[in-house]
Structure 1
Amino acid sequence: MAFPPQIRIPATYMRGGTSKGVFFRLQDLPPAARQPGPARDALLLRVIGSPDPYGKQIDGMGGATSSTSKTVILSRSERPGHDVDYLFGQVSIDTAFVDWSGNCGNLSAAVGAFAIASGLVDAARVPRDGTCTVRIWQANIGKTIVAHVPMAGGEVQETGDFELDGVTFPAAEVQLEFLDPADEGEGEGGGAMFPTGNLVDDLEVPGVGTFKATLINAGIPTIFVNAADIGYTGSELQDALNGDAEALRRFETIRAHGAVRMGLVASPEEAARRQHTPKVAFVAPPTDYLASSGKAVAAGDIDLRVRALSMGKLHHAMMGTAAVAIGTAAAIPGTLVNLAAGGGERSAVRFGHPSGTLRVGAEARQAGGQWTVTKAIMSRSARVLMEGWVRVPGDTLPTT
């Protein structure tokens, strides 16, 4: 029996923030995968090595965690005032599913560098030295991200002394601005940042309980709850949750019912088919704790502690989009995030996560009883890990 040979596709494997993913130029994908649909999803699943019932993604580029099961497709933007269109696909590990419902804030840090190196940014706009400002259209959520990418000798500068907790080695700093990060989709609150119209709601979750929650659409839809209300301290590391199947089931139940309350899905069952959004996070006031690396985090160095789940597991650090949600909620007096940080008005917050700390700023204002955020700002780093071609079996894509 004859088997089709593998096909090879130009690709780059990059780290962005505390995530890794496979980056493609749209023009380099096989024709059948240049449009959204089953062929594109099938290709990306095979590239990453999903679905894998063993949960290891051994036969693909994925790293068997939500942070390393990611794909990015970029193309020159036809949208005025933008350089590149950025599409993010979160690949499920154990099911045949690619979630296109949200952004990856961490990989956003690598988009500008990849766009410059791949010739997707007009050469006249790329300085030989200094900083290249790349305006990115985030196609999943319809938002603008501005990346400030360091340049040296006509090439992207990747090495440097910027340290990011959750990443072992230092690199060059990339500053990101998430413009108008609040979701403007329809919800109970008429498309407001807070879809229920409230800064804090009583969220009833059958089989779990009723507790206070801040439901916010900023960066990525996020459900914030108080750690103490659900039986946690706020200093937990991954092992405390990810080996506890019952705890993860409870968090998924919270996520599903929160998604319904936010108007993202019609039923809890539908939430299971939308794994990437919303996120669930729990917050607590500052206290001393040990990060996963053994590093001591002092209460005086942070404003609050936050733990967040992604794709059903506690994240090892913090998702970039969730960091935007944290910074936004912290800037608005009365949210659970703001109260955990001590209350009052603030333009920036430093929070403790399982791998250390992160600072994020947000510009919030209230007009006509509605809160808006003009932008959120944070720094990340990015680096090319490997470039060339990724290969997949020739029968991955349809022949017609």
Structure 2
Amino acid sequence: MSSNNDQVVIPMLRRHTNGLPEMISTDGETITQGAVLSFHNICYRGQEKRGSLLRRRTVEKEILSNISGIVKPGLNAIMGPPGGGKSSLLDTLAAREDPCGLSGEVLINGVHQPANFRYNSGYMVQDDVVVHTLSVRENLQFSAALRLPTTMTNQEKDERLNYIIKELNLDGVANSKVRPRELQKRTSIAVELITDPAILFLDEPTNGLDPSTANTVFSLLKSISEQGRTIIFSIHQPRYSIFKLFDSLTLLASGKLMYHGPAQEALEYFESAGYSGEEYQNPADFFLDIINGNVPSINREEENEAEETEQLFQREKPVIEALAEFYANSAFYRDTEAELERLAGGRNSRSLAFREITCVTSFFHQLRWIFWRSFKNLLGFPSVTRRQVYATILLAAVVGGTFSVLKNDCTKIQNRFSWV
């Protein structure tokens, strides 16, 4: 991907007491500290090994093909079938993908993505990284100690922790162990909010959750996004109660863009493409059925649709290629391209001085807190810890008993060296 030496960082969302993002003024222009992320012509080719063990060869595979779009503050979903490229796009936008084979641009508020973007954004992986033997508050304390600057006082860090705990409705379980799956997800989100990032990435946030718990997590994410935060996440097949919370939808298949626009207008878009769903069908299921070829297009001659659209879908070509071409000729694509050109046009002249938050803690500070977490983790498994202590004492007794009968004269010492 293209790079730039401009020292631009992602803003921290400094909120007033009413919870709304603070407005700042730069060169006479009032700007909301919500981050608009745009991606321009993202292409990604990876290496794939094929063939048997003796005749294995490495071939290039196109993972993302010329993907462009804009995500604004709110819930921004990236959907698609398995292997469609949604996780690769998410990692690319989060600056976590291998740059080898990657091309295109990612802009933040119209300027190039900074080199320290990973420190200024939050990223929650599929598998929770919280320590289950620690309480919610202790997990947050560990994250705050490593990710917040040492110039902040303990009182300021505690105030930050209490604010996040209250914001995520964790007051009643703040001192409880992180055991239930829902609590693990909410704690993982809280850990990423420690630095108050303007952009939060989530990889399959409903992975391993039952429908009711998934609803609770997304209701929480919706309330967070309404405070001016940009949340971008990959998701496979959400239920309708979750889908209706989405602000924008990016639909990928085989690395190609099927749709990018407002989530609640996607049904109407696919109807214009010649696909009609059932009255009470989940839109997410409907979209994936279309991509997988399980929903036939309606007869456009009988429906008297536009001539160019008829010709497009009467061609004998795979559904994915037809949908990608249909999107490239749609009004959504033209509107997105116009806005992308406007954002890209000002990337060399616009440079906003946002607060910079990077990894500023020293090695020994980190080492001390890692020892603290390890010790707390040992206390969380008392039976295992006792067995380890008993085993150590038994081993020491056996080894000590073996050598206790030996004398310390020259002959015995020589005998001991001869054993070695």
TM-score, normalised to structure 1's length?
0.25
- TM (norm. structure 2) is 0.24
More helix by share: 2
